């Protein structure tokens, strides 16, 4: 059962990577990184249980914190000009009903 | 099996990083790359390395690259010439290197010298000679303490260099202006500030736990220092640089950094004066590793120094 | 007693992994950033909680149990906060949800006036 859960987390990580590569806007990619981080926390906990070494939980706590700090850091610097989202052609085409 | 899947994913992400032109996406994918390599280290049962890779590679590197991008542009410049000579040079060098490694023993083979002489000595004798269960810490701190001393001095020098460079460029801000901006942003960032205030004491406590638990589990001084520094970075990001300067004085930080190197060196000199070699712990008290770890932890406040500037 | 532990932890692990995978599928198939964030934020936190509870039932040592409780509390605290901050930042920087045709004028006026 643990191995099945690990495989499911793997699948979710692969899906997050696909969105990270193909996301049209920047925020999709930030979301993909955040989801990847929480999945990594779960993966580390599961691997620790499978391999019988529960010291991995320290790493899980560190990952959760680092994931949080790095997403907050990315968003904190989003007040600069380069993050301003300009409407692409698709969205401006939707403005006319 | 897990290793093959993880390595394939690493290759896929690396190819995607190279092919993309938008630098923000590259930074995000680099964050994913760091997290995945840390998972790979965990799958190979190397816990301390995974710890350090998580803290430094996945978190701090992404933040640093992002800060750099906000200062420079965000689109990659188009290449104007064909990279054919560069490709030839890289392939030639790579080929020579691979040819050079053909002489070395296979990865993990039983009769490699490192598995016959050095590793058994460390693994078998570490418990009696040093007395702490974590072999990585004992190798880093006792058997190879001189290397660690060199690293510590190098980081200290780099930190001083960066601080000197950056303090020239920094312009003097108006204090009142910063205060008013902070107050107006308080309403905007209310949720995140409250959550951060709840989390930051916990992060400090966790850093102390990792520091003192480094003898028995993964961790040690370096990782604890990075966690501590990341808590300071979180505070500085959310509450403004000026407030962070009020909390932790710049000169205090520099003093602590210099004191760290001094402590490390003086431990070595004390052991010299007691009749042993430089940094030979057998002539000190029974377990002096803790004191030396404290020196390493203090040194890592340099990392936070770099970000504050 | 042993069989109860195995079945209950297996149940929690199953629910948790199903939630995580469905969150990943939602990330790929939803049309807009805000809907994707909704999918990820909800299923991430809940799925992580379920998996961690399943692991807690399996643990034998008290220290492991305490660390799992800490990871669970952290995840519950960090997940919704990240979603909130992400949505707020995206909205402030001008990313509009799809399909807001008539309300778009009002939203643009609000965003322009609240930008410092």
Q: Kindly report the CA angle at B302 between B298 and B307, in degrees rounded to 5?
A: 140
Q: Residue A76 has what pLDDT? A: 72
pLDDT per residue of chain B (309 residues) written in tens, 0 to 9: 677 777 888 888 888 887 777 777 787 788 888 888 888 887 777 777 777 777 777 777 887 777 777 767 666 666 666 778 888 888 888 888 888 777 766 666 666 666 666 666 666 666 555 555 666 666 666 666 667 667 667 767 776 776 666 665 544 444 455 555 555 556 667 788 888 888 888 888 887 777 666 666 666 666 777 777 777 777 777 776 667 667 666 666 667 666 666 666 666 666 566 554 555 444 444 344 544 555 455 444 444 444 443
Element counts in chain B: helices (H) and strands (E): 16, 0
Q: Is B148 found in the same domain as B71?
A: no
Q: What are the residue ranges in chain A where pLDDT is below 70?
A: 78-97
Does residue A2 sit within a domain? no
Q: Is C46 in the A-facing interface, judged by CB distances under 8 Å? A: no
| Chain A residues within an 8 Å CB radius of B223 | 62
The reply to whether B159 and B249 lie within a common domain is yes
* Residue ending a domain, choose from B75, B104, B123: B75
Q: Are residues B58 and B147 in the same domain?
A: no
Average pLDDT (C81-104) is: 75
**Does some domain include residue B122?**
no
B69 and B198, same domain (yes or no):
no
**In-domain check, residue A31:** yes
Tell which of B28, B59, B75 closes a domain: B75
Instruction: Determine the Cα–Cα distance for residues A64 and A38; give it in Å rounded to an integer.
Output: 7
pLDDT-derived band at C112, boundaries 50, 70, 90? low
To test the contact with chain C by mutation, choose from B31, B189, B192 the residue with the greatest count of C C-beta atoms within 10 A, namely B192
Instruction: Compute the CA torsion angle B230, A66, B236, C33 (nearest 10 deg).
Output: 160
Nearest to C86 among A31, A60, A86 (CB): A31
Instruction: Nearest chain A residue to B232 by CA: give it.
Output: A69
Q: How many whole angstroms separate alpha carbon B263 and alpha carbon B240?
A: 32
- Answer yes or no: do B295 and B171 share one domain: yes
Answer yes or no: do A75 and C85 touch at CB < 8 A: yes
The reply to whether A13 falls in a domain is: no
Same structural domain, B161 and B68? no
In a domain, A39, yes or no: yes
- Could you tell me how many residues make up chain C? 116
Q: How many domains does chain A have?
A: 1
What pLDDT does B132 receive? Answer: 58
Q: State chain C's mean pLDDT as an integer.
A: 82
B152 and B281 share one domain: yes
- Cα maximum dimension of chain C: 63
- Which of B15, B42, B75 represents a domain boundary (last residue)? B75
Q: A59 vs B192: CB contact, 8 Å cut-off?
A: no
Residue B247: inside a domain: yes
Domain contains B250:
yes
| Domain residue limits at B226 | 143-309
Sorted by sequence, the CB contacts under 8 Å of residue B279 that are 6+ apart come out as B145, B146, B149, B267, B268, B271
Determine contact: C43 vs chain A, CB below 8 A: no
Q: Which domain holds residue A58?
A: 26-78
Rounded Cα distance, C79 and C8, in Å: 25
pLDDT at B3: 76
- For residues C87 and B169, the model is more confident at C87
Structural domain contains residue A30: yes
Interface contact flag, C17 A9, Cβ < 8 Å: yes
Whether B53 is covered by a domain: the verdict is yes
* Residue C49 pLDDT: 92
For tokens 């529960």, what's the residue?
A54
The total number of structural domains in chain B stands at: 2
- Same domain? B307 vs B220: yes
């Amino acid at each position: 059962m643990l191995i099945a859960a690990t495989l499911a987390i793997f699948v979710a990580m692969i899906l997050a990577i696909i969105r990270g590569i193909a996301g049209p806007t920047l925020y999709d990619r930030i979301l993909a990184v955040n989801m990847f981080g929480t999945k990594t926390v779960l993966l580390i906990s599961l691997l620790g249980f499978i391999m019988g070494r529960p010291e991995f939980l320290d790493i899980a706590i560190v990952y959760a914190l680092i994931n949080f700090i790095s997403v907050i850091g990315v968003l904190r610097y989003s007040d600069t000009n380069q993050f301003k989202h300009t409407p692409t052609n698709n969205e401006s085409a939707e403005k006319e009903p | 099996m897990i290793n093959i899947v993880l390595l394939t994913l690493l290759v896929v992400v690396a190819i995607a990083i190279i092919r993309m032109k938008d630098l923000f996406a590259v930074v995000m994918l680099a964050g994913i790359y760091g997290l995945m390599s840390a998972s790979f280290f965990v799958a190979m049962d190397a816990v301390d390395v995974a710890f350090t890779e998580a803290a430094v590679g996945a978190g701090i590197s992404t933040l640093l690259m992002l800060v750099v991008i906000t200062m420079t542009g965000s689109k990659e410049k188009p290449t104007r010439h064909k990279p054919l000579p560069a490709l030839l040079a890289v392939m030639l060098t790579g080929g020579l290197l691979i040819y050079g490694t053909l002489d070395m023993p296979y990865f993990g083979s039983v009769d490699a010298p490192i598995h016959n002489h050095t590793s058994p000595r460390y693994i078998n004798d570490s418990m009696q000679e040093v007395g702490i269960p974590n072999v990585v810490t004992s190798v880093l701190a006792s058997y190879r303490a001189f290397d660690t001393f060199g690293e510590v001095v190098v980081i200290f020098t780099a930190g001083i260099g960066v601080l000197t460079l950056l303090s020239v460029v920094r312009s003097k801000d108006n204090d009142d202006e910063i205060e008013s901006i902070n107050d107006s942003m308080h309403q905007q960032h209310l949720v995140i500030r409250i959550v951060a205030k709840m989390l930051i004491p916990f992060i400090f406590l966790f850093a102390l736990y990792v520091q003192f638990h480094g003898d028995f589990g993964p961790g040690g001084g370096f990782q604890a220092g990075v966690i501590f520094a990341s808590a300071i970075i979180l505070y500085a990001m959310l509450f403004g640089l000026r407030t962070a300067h009020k909390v932790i004085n710049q000169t205090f930080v520099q003093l602590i950094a210099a004191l760290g190197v001094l402590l490390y060196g003086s431990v070595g000199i004390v052991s010299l004066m007691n009749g042993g070699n430089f940094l030979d712990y057998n002539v000190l008290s029974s377990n002096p590793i803790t004191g030396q770890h404290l020196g390493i932890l203090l040194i890592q406040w340099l990392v936070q120094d770099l970000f504050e500037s | 007693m042993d069989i109860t532990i195995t079945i209950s932890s297996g149940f929690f692990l199953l629910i948790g992994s199903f939630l995580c995978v469905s969150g990943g599928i939602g990330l790929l198939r939803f049309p807009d950033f805000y809907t994707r964030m909704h999918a990820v934020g909800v299923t991430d936190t809940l799925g992580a909680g379920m998996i961690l509870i399943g692991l807690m039932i399996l643990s034998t040592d008290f220290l492991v149990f305490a660390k799992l409780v800490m990871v669970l509390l952290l995840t519950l605290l960090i997940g919704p906060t990240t979603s909130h901050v992400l949505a707020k930042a995206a909205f402030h920087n001008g990313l509009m949800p799809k399909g807001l045709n008539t309300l778009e004028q009002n939203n643009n006026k609000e965003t322009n006036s609240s930008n410092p």
